[in-house]
Homo-oligomer: A and B are copies of this chain.
Amino acid sequence: MPRGGVDPRTGGGERRREILDAALAIADEQGLGAVTMRAVAARIGLTPMALYSHVGGKEGLLDGIVERMLADLLPSLQASGSLEDRLRSLARAVRGLARRHPSAFALMLSRPSVTPESLRELDALYQALLDIGVPREHVPRVERMLSTFTLGFAASEVNGRFQPRDARTSRSRLDPDTYPAHAALRDVLEQKIDWDDEYEADLDDLAHLLATRWSG
C-alpha cells in the first residue's frame, strides 16, 4: 500500500478535473449508466487504466462527480438579502442543479459529502438557522431535515417519481369504492401541476414551520 503517497482518490490536478468534467458530461448526455471508465477515458483521449491514478476507480469517479456538482452550489451562498431569502436561494439552486444534471443528481442522496466546499455551504446554513432563532441544540437536526427534503424533492422530480407514467389517464378511472379519497379529490388530481409553484409552496410551509415552531 502507498502509505506515504498521495491518496489516489482525492489527489488534485487538472487531469482529475478534466476526467470528472468528462464523466459529468457523459452522464448529462447519455445517463449515469453510460458513465464508464472506458467511455470517460475515450472522451479525453486516454486509456481506461490512465484514470486510476487520478480517481482511484469507478467508485472514486462517482464521488468526484458529486464533488463537481457541489461546487456549482457555492455561488448561491453569496446571494444577498434576508436570511430567508438566502435559504430559499440555496433551495432553488439545489433544484436547478438537479435539472442541469438530472441523471447524476441521484448520487447526491447516496453519498456523504465531506469536501471543504460542501462544509462551507453547511456552515452558512447553520449560521442562517441560528440567526433565524432555531435553538442551538436543534440546528443540526433541522439542517438535516431541510436538506433531506430539498434533495429528496429535486431527486423525485427529475427521476419522475412524482409523475407516474399514465397518471392523468388512469388516476381518473380508479374505482371509487377501493380508492375513495382519490374519488373525493378527483378534480384536484386532474389539475396540471406546476412544479415551480409546488416547490415555492413547500418552501412557504417550511418557512412557516421555522417561524412558528420555537416562538410560541
- Which residues of chain A have a CB within 8 Å of any CB of chain B? 106, 109-114, 119-120, 122-127, 130, 136-142, 144-145, 148-149, 151-153, 155-156, 159-167, 170, 174, 178-182, 184-185, 188-189, 193, 198, 201-202, 205-206, 208-209, 212-213
Contact = CB atoms under 8 A, between A and B. Distances in A.
Contacts of A162: 112, 144
A159 B119 contact: no
Contact of A205 (B119, B159, B209): B209
B156 A109 contact: yes
Nearest to A148: B152
The 7 closest A-B pairs by CB, nearest first: A152-B152, A126-B181, A127-B181, A114-B164, A148-B152, A112-B164, A110-B159
Given A111-B159, A205-B209, A205-B213, A185 B152 contact: no
Contact of A120 (B166, B178, B193, B212): B178
A153 B148 contact: yes
A16 to B, nearest CB: 20
Contacts of A164: 112-114
A109 B182 contact: no
Q: Tell me whether chain A's interface is mostly helix, strand or loop, or mixed.
A: helix
Contact of A179 (B112, B119, B140, B156): B119
A8 to B, nearest CB: 16
Nearest to A184: B130
A109 B155 contact: yes
A56 to B, nearest CB: 14
A124 B180 CA distance: 9
Contacts of A201: 138, 141
Contact of A123 (B155, B179, B193, B202): B179
Contact of A208 (B159, B166, B202, B213): B213
